[in-house]
Amino acid sequence: MALSTLNSGAEHAREKIVRELQGTRFDISGFIFRFSLIFGLGSGVLILGAVMWDVVGDGSGFLFDRGWEFLTGNASSRANSYGIFEGLRGTFWIGVFVVVFAFPLGVGAAIYLEEYASDSRLTRFIELNIRNLAGVPSVVYGVLGLAIFVRALDGFYPNSIDRHLGSTTAAAGATLAILVLPIVIITASEAIRAVPQSLREGGFGVGATKWEVIRHHVLPYAAPGIFTGTLLSLARALGEAAPLILIGGVLGSLGPKSSLLELEQLGERFTAMPLMITQLAKKPAFIGDWNSATAAAILVLLVVVIAANLIAICLRNHYERKRS
């Protein structure tokens, strides 16, 4: 009885002190911080909403009117017959290059840095430079791709009639794969670093080798973070225009249509959705429906990027459910 009375008295005193502190003191810094966060969030949502409203309003009608013809047609000098198939094809193959080259190399580098490399000055120097490379502007990677993949390939065939021999789909894909490689390494490293050490120790405790621990314990646990980071980096690569312009991407039509899956086009001139949008944006808005065609192309690219993000979210949720 006495103990119960003592506990109730202590609780009453604590509530009284909390009420007095909250009632007599106004947290000005906390209020300013919360207001700044809400203002920043609201401003970003309003700006994004205004841009989306303008794009959807201008492009949805044009896209629904043209429909399949707009998606499967070639570039044209007239807005009412313009098509973006060449841009979709180039964007598809660039994405394939990023997935095939950047993802395995990036995840493999992350596994080595986190699980095998010793904590030495050289390792820390490499990690620091990888983080610095992730912040380099994309136009710099365009110059790198121009020097390595375009000019070097042109140098192998100095007497060729085609003076744009190195400005191919393969060169574009390799350039953007290098662009996102540091981001893939960083995101995969963070995901692997977040794996509890006890999980590794449990694997070693039952006699598993280091590779078996990595394969059966570390990678499944880190898979949600790895997939999310890598697919978001793919979405960034699909929206880049500056590197593609520098390495000689075509801003107009490539000529007769070829199939989406023809491998021969990897060695041919290319264009991509960001390049086609850049070219469409240069057209006079007061002539024809060029403004609506530009908005429709932006909508298509936006759907592609959102689809990549949704796939990343679904994969993350799937592996999180398996992990739990």
Distance between CA atoms of 188 and 193, rounded to whole angstroms?
8
Phi, psi values for residue 160, rounded to 5°: -70, 145
pLDDT-derived band at 129, boundaries 50, 70, 90: very high
Q: What is the per-residue pLDDT across 62-110, written as a single tens digit (0 to 9) for each?
A: 788 877 887 877 777 777 777 888 888 888 888 888 888 999 999 999 9
pLDDT-derived band at 25, boundaries 50, 70, 90: low
Q: Is pTM beyond 0.85 here?
A: no
Spell out the domain ranges in the chain. Answer: 62-323
Question: What's the confidence (pLDDT) of residue 160?
Answer: 46
pLDDT-derived band at 187, boundaries 50, 70, 90: very high
Report, as an integer, the average pLDDT of 287-311. 83
- Of the candidates 251, 113, 235, the one whose C-alpha atom is nearest the C-alpha of residue 176 is 235
The kind and range of the H/E element at 200 are: helix 197-205
Distance between CA atoms of 146 and 179, rounded to whole angstroms?
13
Question: What's the confidence (pLDDT) of residue 159?
Answer: 47
Please state, as a whole number, how many other Cβ atoms lie within 10 Å of the Cβ of residue 125.
10
Written as one letter, the residue type at 114 is E
The terminus-to-terminus CA distance of the chain in angstroms comes to 45
Q: What is the per-residue pLDDT across 217-228, written as a single tens digit (0 to 9) for each?
A: 888 888 888 888
Q: What is the per-residue pLDDT across 228-249, written as a single tens digit (0 to 9) for each?
A: 888 888 888 888 888 888 887 7
- Of the candidates 298, 250, 251, the one whose C-alpha atom is nearest the C-alpha of residue 270 is 250
Distance between CA atoms of 146 and 127, rounded to whole angstroms?
26
Distance between CA atoms of 251 and 54, rounded to whole angstroms?
24
- Of the candidates 283, 308, 271, 277, the one whose C-alpha atom is nearest the C-alpha of residue 295 is 277
Q: Return the CA Rg of the chain.
A: 27
Q: Give DSSP secondary structure letters for 5-30.
A: HHHHHHHHHHHHHHHHHHHH---HHH
Question: What's the confidence (pLDDT) of residue 153?
Answer: 64
- Residues 62-323: name the CATH superfamily: MetI-like (1.10.3720.10)
Q: What angle do CA 171, 241, 58 make, to 5 degrees?
A: 140
Range from 76-80, 132-136, 157-161 that averages highest in pLDDT: 132-136
Q: What angle do CA 306, 145, 162 make, to 5 degrees?
A: 110
Chain centroid to Cα 188, Å, comes to: 14
Residue found under tokens 């970003």? 44
